[in-house]
Amino acid sequence: MPKKVFIALGGNALGSTPLEQKQIVRKTAKPIVDLVEKGYQVIIGHGNGPQVGMINLAMDYASQQNIGTPYMPFAECGAMSQGYIGYHLQQAINDELCARNLNKNHGCATIVTQVVVDKNDPAFLSPTKPIGAFYTQQQAEVIQKEHGFHFMEDAGRGYRRVIPSPKPLEIVESPIIKQLVERNIVVITVGGGGIPVIRKGNLLEGIDAVIDKDNSSSKLAVELKADILLILTAVDKVAINFNKPDQINLDKLTLSQAQKYISQGQFAKGSMLPKVEACLNFLKESDKGVQAIITSLENALSALEGKTGTRIISD
């Protein structure tokens, strides 16, 4: 049986504008297809922060211009971003499969994915997930007054809109994704963490929120019984004392070591912490023998071969 690898793509694998993104994903496709060529079954999750913020802002602006554009709820904006990013990614991956004569037995498709959350999740009382563009404090205050959005200062780079980030409970399209993976289709799914929906009896209803893409990727990786969760980011390895003179890059990290470093505040909340936590959840909820790896996109195959990256394993 081929091994299933669930890839969670970081923002560096995408772009902020359509033209930039189309160029970047051409490079992104190559290391992904490397894994297909080596015989892995590949599932891909990705972020959508800049894209969904751009779409939401444009739709909100247009709806106020008296030109007939309706107000677009945030869940619908998330769905638009899944289609937009998925279109570029699947086109680039299919082109790369074709260039290597792998297209006879493999393909790539995007699934617009819904993720069930709890409407009573405490996250709805405290929006924390940044989306969209950066603003000055003055600009943020004007937009907040006009639209009622929440803003937060983001790591010294300016102010960004923040919305709730509830925990994923269920991936609605999981059975369909499983069938596609078994047919050697590279599936692009849980884009932006998935479209947040709540259950109302037997019905689903979208809700304004953004689910962390690493959490959704971890959840779906468990449901699909993936062998490896591969989180690709801007660095080759997880580090402690990051960006300090005594920085130490980690080749391996056990569950207990990771918990200790988390309690010490070693991993930044907006970057490495959710990635490490997603890996821990994957290990705890999966069968024995699985592993999680954090590395850069360029080193994806090398990390799977044990040559680089940070391998996170059970004790």
What amino acid positions are annotated as catalytic residues?
Answer: 11-12, 129, 213, 275
Half-sphere exposure of 152 (CA within 13 A, CB side): 12
CB atoms inside a 10 Å sphere around CB 204 = 14
- Length of the chain (residues): 315
Residue 153's closest CA among 170, 138, 165? 138
CA 169 to chain CA centroid, Å, is 16
Q: Are strands 4-9 and 41-46 parallel, antiparallel or unpaired?
A: parallel
Look at residue 42 and give its three-state secondary structure.
strand
Four-CA torsion 96, 98, 101, 107, nearest 10 degrees: 90
Rounded to whole angstroms, the Cα distance separating 211 from 160 reads 17
CB atoms inside a 10 Å sphere around CB 170 = 15
Tokens 């690898």, located at residue: 5
Tokens 């600009």, located at residue: 139
- Assess contact for 297 and 238: CB atoms under 8 A: no
Cα angle 120-125-127, degrees, rounded to a multiple of 5: 120
Rounded to whole angstroms, the Cα distance separating 161 from 154 reads 10
